[in-house]
Structure 1
Amino acid sequence: MPNHFHVVWQLIGDQDLSKVQLRLMKFIAQKIKFDLQENHQDVLAVSRLARSSSQEPQSSYLINA
């Protein structure tokens, strides 16, 4: 499946697993965001619209791909 990955790691020294995982997830999210900004402005615009509109529970949106 291209939408996820598995990681096998070993913590070195006195590191907290949750902090390492958080830093990894932040790094990946930033890479995805930068790629969207550079190569997929249309997808980013739709994502921002859906995110800002998600605060309106009575609204429904149809996105044609």
Structure 2
Amino acid sequence: MARNWPMVERENELESIRSALTGGDFVGVVLTGDAGVGKTTLARMATAAAGNVRWVAGTES
């Protein structure tokens, strides 16, 4: 069963990603961190309202 967990205390990170994706200085964002910290959720939230954005998830396996 899939759950939609709330995003807690990630407003700064979310705004940084949105700024990078919509500004003219950057062409992408890389999210790194341990498993289970919310990288995919953060990426989905940051790109949900964006226009022409593509994202991929890469794993060690």
- Larger gyration radius, structure 1 or structure 2: 1
**TM-score tier (shorter):** 0.3 to 0.5
Q: Which has the higher helix share?
A: 1
TM-score, normalised to structure 2, is 0.34
